[in-house]
Amino acid sequence: MHILVADDDLPSVKLTSFLLEEAGYRVFKAYDGPSILQVIEQYNPDLVLLDVSMPKSNGFDICRQIRRTSDVPIIFLSARSQLQDRVMGLQIGGDDYLVKPFEPSELLARVEAVLRRRNSDMLNPSARLSQGGITLDPVEHKVLFEDGRTIELTPLEFRLLYYLMKNAGRVLNTSQILSKVWGYDYEGESNLVAVYIRRLRTKIEKDAEHPHHVLTVRNLGYKFEI
């Protein structure tokens, strides 16, 4: 597996790279926006570890640029721990957000989870899934509606919706969703699920504020209603 470590802090890049290389990963390094985009275009890494506080263009801006051409998984690494920063990182296409300083074991666990999720067949079926007038196309990660509308999903959005639809009518708590969709279960990550639930609703519901399919069950979790 090839991982791009993107950070303008040289000691941080060196330490993170050493940790990943000791774990068996091949590491690319980049220190600013243009070099990050160049590495992704040239080497197509399996994962990007992206610092938020980058020179000239911050990590959020760089993520937006990456998402125009690539669905490579992105884990934000940042000393910015405010909720709004974490939510922003997820809303613009990040797969995870890890606050500095972090334990090496947690970083490796997050990396392994994202890579496992990307390569897992469990939530990347080869056959279409239809529930409640909605059909998921696993080849193109699209949602097909009975009225002919088509909406594209990111790979993570697709896995989340697939898991909900596969368990239609069943309430799934945040721990179950994190375990099956994200590949890990850490306390305090319920907001991660909530962010992606909101993103799904804006894409598939006629009225995201009054959803018909992706429902919240207060104090319990979420479910897909046919």
| CATH code for position 69 | 3.40.50.2300
Residue 1, Cα to own-chain centre: how many angstroms? Answer: 18
User: Are the beta carbons of 167 and 181 closer than 8 angstroms?
Assistant: no
Cα separation, 226 vs 224, in Å, equals: 7
The answer to whether residues 172 and 114 belong to one domain is no
* Range 100-129 average pLDDT: 79
Q: Given a cut of 60, is residue 121 above it in pLDDT? A: no
User: Are the beta carbons of 86 and 97 closer than 8 angstroms?
Assistant: yes
User: Are the beta carbons of 25 and 3 closer than 8 angstroms?
Assistant: yes
* Amino acid occupying residue 44: N
The whole-number pLDDT of residue 124 equals 52
> Residue 4 — very low, low, confident or very high, per pLDDT cuts 50/70/90?
very high
The answer to whether residues 81 and 186 belong to one domain is no
pTM: 0.64
Q: What confidence tens digit (pLDDT) does each residue in 15-34 have?
A: 999 999 999 999 999 999 89
The answer to whether residues 156 and 214 belong to one domain is yes
Structural domains of the chain, count:
2
The count of other CB atoms within 10 Å of the CB of residue 219 is 6
> Residue 189 — very low, low, confident or very high, per pLDDT cuts 50/70/90?
low
The answer to whether residues 74 and 139 belong to one domain is no
The whole-number pLDDT of residue 6 equals 95
Quote the domain boundaries for residue 171: 129-224
User: Are the beta carbons of 74 and 48 closer than 8 angstroms?
Assistant: yes
Residue predicted with more confidence, 155 or 84: 84
